[in-house]
């Protein structure tokens, strides 16, 4: 499964290594297409690829951590 997602990170999560964490924990491949972080907020446009169950677990982990998933598009 391959999905393109847009994430919004609240200020309190901007220093947490959540993207690295989901790659290691859920055996996914991640490509950062664009990203921007300030002292107040951050956003990222990513492509996540892996087994469907792993991708879904990674997305749920981000949500549970407080990351807002703004858009999700399945690519394959």
pLDDT tens-digit profile, the chain (76 residues): 999 999 999 999 978 999 999 999 999 999 999 999 998 899 999 999 999 999 999 999 999 999 999 988 999 7
**What CATH number does residue 53 fall under?**
3.30.70.260
Considering its fold, how many domains does the chain have in total? 1
pTM given for the model: 0.89
Q: How far is 3 from 8, CA to CA, in rounded Å?
A: 16
Instruction: List the structure tokens of 72.
Output: 């999700």
Q: How far is 69 from 16, CA to CA, in rounded Å?
A: 16
* Helix intervals (H) in 1-76: 18-26, 52-65
Instruction: List the structure tokens of 25.
Output: 């924990």
Domain that holds residue 30: 2-74
């Amino acid at each position: 499964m391959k999905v393109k997602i847009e994430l919004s990170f609240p200020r309190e999560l901007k220093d947490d290594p959540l993207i690295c964490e989901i790659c290691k924990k859920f055996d996914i491949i991640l490509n950062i297409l664009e990203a921007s972080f300030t002292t107040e907020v951050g956003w990222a446009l990513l492509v996540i690829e892996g087994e469907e169950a792993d991708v879904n677990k990674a997305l749920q982990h981000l949500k549970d951590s407080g990351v807002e998933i703004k858009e999700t598009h399945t690519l394959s």
